[in-house]
Structures are given as structure tokens and as C-alpha cells.
Structure 1
Amino acid sequence: MYWFMQGLCFLPAFLVVWSSSTFVVCYLIALLRGDVDVIFPFISDTGAEPPESCIFGLMTFITACAGIATIYSRYKFVEKLSEETRVVNPCLNKSALYIGLLSCLGMCIVATFQEIAETKPHDAGALLFFVTGVTYIVLQTVISYQAFPFGASMTVIRVRLCISILATLAFFPTVVCAFFVKQTELHRDPADKDYPYHLASAVCEWIVAFSFTCFFFTYIDEFKLFTLQVKTEYEGYSNS
């Protein structure tokens, strides 16, 4: 049996590959068309102009759907593990689920409202995505420590901790520096006064985004351990 056919590991594997492709494909198309600068545009800049905006919206929406499936599957795995071992607080597991779903909602908002067309809804969606996304991976790191030695190995847990710390540290300059960026054009001049803030915010934004991707990559081995089944019950009409 191929590794991606074991359990549900195809879910995080697909999420990692597809989300990475979303960032890279849109960046390359925007770059080849001359819509963005080579050096660290904002992620949303790479999907601001058509046709890359259409590709960005579609691929981001599919990423959000894959994220929902992966986050819910992770929740059910931890729930089952908690029922048998009582090592994970159920409230913590549910909180991680809801926060993770909110991050996917933020992603859908980003995909629906392009940066140039609808700036405020787009920025609100991006902020929701990053805040809840960072919170989700931090909570999942705590859950991983609580569940040990069940599920992930200590090496994987430590990797998750490092990713969570990196994402958290990169999140703050992403948001703070963005407030000092006044220019809204896609092409930037290094001589602009707010260019250093733009560069710092953009670099940290890419770091946070790929931190999420790397974090879900650590799910693959655990997702080999379980499957989900849908149970259908039919209640027939009784003749009275």
C-alpha cells in the first residue's frame, strides 16, 4: 500500500501541496506578467490582478475546504484518543476546532474579496486568518504535549513547538508594520519612506503562511493511524 493511502494522511498531504502551489503559482504568474515586484510582494498582491486573481481565489477556496476537512479530522482523532485515554482536555480540543474553522473562514473572505477591489473586507479576512491560524497551531502544540506518548513522537511535537514560536514571532511584525505602509500600489520603490515597513511586513507574512503549511505537514504520520466513517441510519415509516 502506498503511504498516501494509509488512513487519512492524504488530507494533510493534499493541503500542504495545494496551499504551497497556491502561493507559488500565483506569484510566478503575477511576476511573469509584471504585476508585482520580484522582491517580497504581499501574498495578496500576487492575486490582485486578473487572471491571477481568479486563480488565487479558486485555489485559496479549495485550500480552505481542504483545511476544514483536515482540521475536523484532527479534532475527531483527538476526541477518540481522549475518550480512551483521557489525556486531552475535551474543551481544549473543541476550542482548537472552532478557532481552526474560523481561520478557514478568514481564508474564504480573502479569496472572495480581492485586495484592490474590496480592501477593508480583504484586510479583515486576512487578519482573521492570521490571528486564528496562529492560535490554532499553538493550541494544537499544547494538545500534542498533552496527548504524548499517544499520537505524535516527541521529535514531531518539538518541531510543532518551533513552528508555533516562529509563526507567533513573525505574526506581530506582519500586522504592526502593515499599519505603517501607506502606499497601496502593487509596485514599490525602495526609496519610499514606508518601504522598510512594507518589506518587513511582507517577509514576515510569507514566513507565517509557510509556517502553517509546515505545521500541517507534521500531521501526515498521525493521519496514517485512523480513518473516519459515515454512518447512515434509515428510519422507515411504520404502518399504523
Structure 2
Amino acid sequence: MFWFMQGLCFLPVFLVIWSSSTFIISYIIALFRHDVDVIFPYISDTGDKPPESCIFGLMTFVSACAGIATIYARYKFVEKLNADSRMVNARLNKAALVFGLLSCLGMCVVATFQETVVTTVHDIGAILFFVSGVLYTILQSVISFQAYPFGSSISVCRARALIALLATLAFFPTFICGFFVKRDSLHRDEADQNYPLHVASAVCEWTAAFSFICFFLTYIEDFKLFTLQVRTEFQE
């Protein structure tokens, strides 16, 4: 049996590969069509105009579905560990599930409502995605330390904590600097006085997004340990 066929390992593997491809492919297409600048466009800029907006929307929806499946599987895994050890706060696990699902919802909103078309709804989706995503990584880091030594090694727990810290630190400049940046065009003028703020915001946005991807990368070893089953029951 191949390593990615063990347990539910394929879920985080697919999520990481597909999500990374979503960002990279839409960026390459937008760059090839000269819709964005080579250096430091926002992630949303790369999926604002067709045809990249169509590809970005479709691939992001698939990523959200994979994210929901992975987040739910992680929730059930922790729930099973907790049934045996009672080391993890059950409410903490449920809160992490809720924030994870809200983050996936925000991802769908961002992909559906383009930045320059429906800006307000797009921004709400982005805030929902990043805030919920950061809170999810923080809660899962806490859960990992509570569940130790069951499930994850101490090195994985520390890696999750570092990634959560990086995502948290990247979140604030993304929105604070982005608040002062005009978004009436996908091309930025380096002579504009707000250009440094745009660069800081865009870099932190990409950092936060790939921090989430790296966080799910740490699930691979855990997901080798279990499977989920669906049971059908007939109602009398």
C-alpha cells in the first residue's frame, strides 16, 4: 500500500496540492494575460477577470469542499482520542470545527464575488476566511498539545504552533495596510505613496494563505492512523 493510501491520508494531501495549485495556476494565467503585475499582486487580483476568475472560482470551491472534509475528519479524530483519554476539551474541539467551516465558507465567498465587482461582499468573505482560519490554527495547536502524546509528536505540535503564530502575525498587516490601499485597478504604480503599504499587505496575505496550507500539511501523519465509516440505518 502506498503511503498516501493509508487511513485518510489522501485528504490533507489532496487539499495541500489542490490549494497550492489554485493560487499558482490563477497567478500564472493572470500574469500571462497581463491582468496583474509580476510582483506582489493580491491573491484576489489573480482571480478577478475571466478566464482566470472562472478557473479560480471552480478550483477554490473544490478546495473548500476538501477543506470541509479534512476539518470534519480532524474533528472526529480528536473526538475519538478524547473518548479514550479525556485530555482534550470537547468544547474546544467543536469551536475549532465551527471556525474551520466558517473559513471554508469565506473562501467560497471570496471566489464567487470578485474584488472589483462586488467589493464589500468580497471583503466580508476575506475577513471571514482569514479570521476564522487563524482562529482554527490556534485552537488546533492548543488541541494538539492537550492530546499529546496521543496523535501527534511533540515536534508536530510545535510546528503547528509556529505556523499558527506566523499566520496570526501575517493577518494584521494584511488588513491594516490593505485598508489604506486603493483598489480601483489591478495594476499598481510604484510611484504611488501607498505602494509600500500594498506590498506589505500583499506579501502578508500570501504568507497567511500558505501558512494555512502548511498547517494542513502537518495532518498527513495523523490521518494515516484512522478511517471514517458511514453506517446506514432504516427507520421503522
In structure 2, the residue matched to 1:203 is: 203
In structure 1, the residue matched to 2:182 is: 182
Unaligned runs of 5+ in 2: none
The 10-residue stretch of structure 1 (86-95 or 177-186) with the greater mean CA deviation from structure 2:
177-186
TM-score, normalised by the number of residues in structure 1: 0.97
Q: Do 2:178 and 2:198's aligned partners in 1 also have CA atoms closer than 8 Å? A: yes
Counterpart of 2:19 in 1: which secondary structure? helix
Give the letter aligned to residue 11 of structure 2.
L
Give the letter aligned to residue 131 of structure 1.
V
TM-score, normalised by the number of residues in structure 2: 0.99
In the TM superposition, residue 114 of structure 1 has moved relative to its aligned partner by 1.0
Distance 1:118 1:149, change over 3 A: same
In the alignment of these two chains, the number of paired residues is: 236
Deviations 1:36-73 (Å, cap 9, x if unpaired)?
A: 00101000000001000000000001100000000000
Q: Does 1:110 align with 2:103?
A: no
Give the distance between the partners of 1:66 and 1:9, measured in 2 at CA: 12
Counterpart of 1:193 in 2: which secondary structure? coil
Give the distance between the partners of 2:106 and 2:210, measured in 1 at CA: 16
Give the distance between the partners of 1:195 and 1:155, measured in 2 at CA: 39
In the TM superposition, residue 228 of structure 1 has moved relative to its aligned partner by 0.2
In the TM superposition, residue 116 of structure 1 has moved relative to its aligned partner by 1.5
In structure 1, the residue matched to 2:26 is: 26
Q: Whose radius of gyration is greater, 1 or 2?
A: 1
Q: Equivalent pairs: percent with the same residue? A: 70
Give the distance between the partners of 1:107 and 1:146, measured in 2 at CA: 29
Give the letter aligned to residue 209 of structure 1.
A
Give the distance between the partners of 2:199 and 2:22, measured in 1 at CA: 21
In structure 2, the residue matched to 1:56 is: 56
In the TM superposition, residue 184 of structure 1 has moved relative to its aligned partner by 2.1
Unaligned runs of 5+ in 1: none
In structure 1, the residue matched to 2:76 is: 76
In the TM superposition, residue 183 of structure 1 has moved relative to its aligned partner by 4.0
In structure 2, the residue matched to 1:120 is: 120
Give the distance between the partners of 1:168 and 1:117, measured in 2 at CA: 28
Give the distance between the partners of 1:184 and 1:13, measured in 2 at CA: 37
In structure 1, the residue matched to 2:157 is: 157
**Aligned structure 1 segments of 4 or more residues deviating by more than 6 angstroms:** none
In structure 2, the residue matched to 1:98 is: 98
The 10-residue stretch of structure 1 (8-17 or 178-187) with the greater mean CA deviation from structure 2:
178-187
Deviations 1:8-33 (Å, cap 9, x if unpaired)?
A: 01000000000000000000000011
Give the distance between the partners of 1:106 and 1:96, measured in 2 at CA: 15
In structure 2, the residue matched to 1:66 is: 66
Q: Do 2:104 and 2:129's aligned partners in 1 also have CA atoms closer than 8 Å? A: yes
In the TM superposition, residue 235 of structure 1 has moved relative to its aligned partner by 2.9
The 10-residue stretch of structure 1 (91-100 or 180-189) with the greater mean CA deviation from structure 2:
180-189
Give the distance between the partners of 1:183 and 1:136, measured in 2 at CA: 29
Counterpart of 2:17 in 1: which secondary structure? helix
Give the distance between the partners of 1:235 and 1:136, measured in 2 at CA: 36
Give the distance between the partners of 1:183 and 1:116, measured in 2 at CA: 7
Give the distance between the partners of 1:171 and 1:115, measured in 2 at CA: 18
Give the 5 Å matches for 1:7-46.
7-46=7-46
Give the distance between the partners of 1:85 and 1:118, measured in 2 at CA: 48
Give the distance between the partners of 2:199 and 2:75, measured in 1 at CA: 36
Q: Do 2:116 and 2:183's aligned partners in 1 also have CA atoms closer than 8 Å? A: no
Q: Does 1:193 align with 2:193?
A: yes
